[in-house]
Amino acid sequence: MLKFKSNIILAPLAGFTDCAFRKLCYDCGAGLTVTEMVSAKGLHYKNENTKYLLKTAGEAPISAQIFGNDPDIMAEACCSEALKPFDGIDINMGCPVPKIVKNFEGSALLNDINLAEKIISKCAKSTSKPISVKFRIGFRADEDICVEFAKMCEGAGAQFITIHGRTREQFYSGNARYDSIIKASEQVKIPVFANGNIKTIEDYDFLVKQNNVFGVAIGRGALGNPNIFRELNGLTPIDKSTLIAQHYKYLKENFDEHYIQTNFKKHLCYYIDGTAHAKSTRNLIFTSQNIEQAINFALEAINAQS
C-alpha cells in the first residue's frame, strides 16, 4: 500500500498536471500526485509523447495513470521500464472525452464491468506496485453504479479508489453527488478518495470528518490555487507571486521553451481568476510576445487586487 503524505491528493488533469505543477502541489502538501493519463498502447509502441507525460521532478509518492481496454496490453504497461520510477499505477476508468469513449476506454468501461474487472485483475497480478482505479459514479445521466463498481475494484485487487461524483454524461456540469461516494466508502475496506467540486475546507470536513470518506482528490480546484493543499492541511497559504515564480522555475528545469510558452499561459489564466479585468488580462496573456511578458501581465492583475 502506498504511504500517503496526507489524505488530500492531486487528481490528474490532461494538459495541466505535468511534473512542474505536480511538484508545486507536492510542495504545498499534496499527499499523492498522479500523472496525466498515458495510453497503454502508447507505452507498448514506445510513443515519444509518453516521455513528456512521464517526466518527474522529485514529487513523491507518485502514481502513473494509464488507460486502455486490452487487459494484456494494460498489464504489460504496468511492467514496462517507463513506469519503474513510479510508486503506484492508477487505471483511468472515468475520462469522459469523446475520442477516449469511442475507443471503449476511460469511462466507457463503466458499461462493461466484466472487462473492467479483468483489466484491474490482470494489472494487479502483473506487478508488485499498488494498483488504484479512478472512475465515475455511472455512465448515463441518471445512472449510479458506484457501490457495485467500487466493490468490483476491491475484489479485483485495487488497493484504493478515487470516485468522481458525476456520470460520464454530466462531464463536469452540475453538482457532484457525494452521497454516492459516501455509500461506496461504507461498502468497501480499501481507501476511497472523493473527487469533484471539492474547493473548500467545508467540502473536506463534510466528506472526511462527518462521513468518514478516507480522503479527497483535488483536480480543477487546484488550478491557479495550489494553496488549497496548504489550506486543507492547516498550513499558511503562500502568496500567488511566489507560487508563480516557483511554478516557472520547475517548468524551466524540466521543459523546453516551446512547451513552457504553450503550457504556462493556460496556468497563468487560472492564477488571475477572481481579479478585476480578468477577461482582458487573459487576452493579454495569450497574445503576449514571450512568457516573461505573460507573467508580468498576470502579476500586475494579482498585485492590483491585493
198 and 287 both lie in a single domain: no
Tell me, what CATH number does 158's domain have? Answer: 3.20.20.70
> What pLDDT was estimated at residue 47?
86
Domain boundary among 232, 263, 287: 232
Show Cβ contacts of residue 80 under 8 Å, excluding neighbours closer than 6 positions. 43
Parts of the chain with a pLDDT under 70: 306
Do residues 155 and 244 both lie within one domain? Answer: no
Residues 58 and 171 in one domain: yes
27 and 60 in a common domain: yes
Q: What is the pTM of this model?
A: 0.96
165 is a domain residue:
yes
Q: 2 in a domain, yes or no?
A: no
pLDDT of residue 306: 67
188 and 280 assigned to the same domain: no
**88 within domain boundaries:** yes
Q: Last residue of a domain, which of 184, 200, 232? A: 232
Residue 1 lies in a domain: no
Do 265 and 139 share a domain, yes or no? no
How many CB atoms lie under 10 A from the CB of residue 242? 9
Q: Residue 118 falls within a domain, yes or no? A: yes
CB 111 within 8 A of CB 152: no
- The CA-based diameter of the chain, rounded to the nearest angstrom, is 55
Asked if 260 and 117 sit in the same domain, the reply is: no
Q: Is residue 3 part of a domain?
A: no
d(CA 265, CA 294) in angstroms, rounded, equals 7
Q: How far apart are CA 205 and CA 191, in angstroms?
A: 16
Residues 223 and 245 in one domain: no
Q: Active site residue: 19, 28, 78, 95, which one?
A: 95
Give the pLDDT of residue 1: 78
| Residue 95 is among the residues annotated as catalytic for this protein | yes
Give, in order, the Cα–Cα distances in Å from 268 to each of 55, 145, 221, 295, 303. 21, 37, 14, 7, 14
Of 198, 232, 266, which closes a domain? Answer: 232
Closest to 109 in 3D by CA, of 125, 127, 123: 123
Give the pLDDT confidence of 250-280 residue by residue, as tens digits.
999 999 999 999 999 999 999 999 999 999 9
C-alpha 86, offset from chain centre: 15
Check whether residue 154 and residue 41 sit in a common domain. yes
pLDDT number for residue 305: 80
Whether the Cβ atoms of residue 120 and residue 66 lie closer than 8 Å to each other = no
Full domain range(s) for residue 43: 8-232
CA distance 31 to 227: 13
- Whether residues 174 and 57 share a domain: the answer is yes
Cis, peptide link before residue 191, omega less than 30° from 0: no
Cα–Cα distances in angstroms (integers) from residue 297 to residues 115, 186, 242, 248, 294, in the given order: 49, 48, 15, 14, 5
Do 154 and 211 lie in one domain? The reply is: yes
Tell whether 277 is covered by a domain.
yes
In a domain, 14, yes or no: yes
Residues 213 and 247 in one domain: no
Q: How far apart are the first and last CA of the chain?
A: 43
**What's the domain count of the chain?**
2
> What integer pLDDT is reported at residue 165 of this predicted model?
97
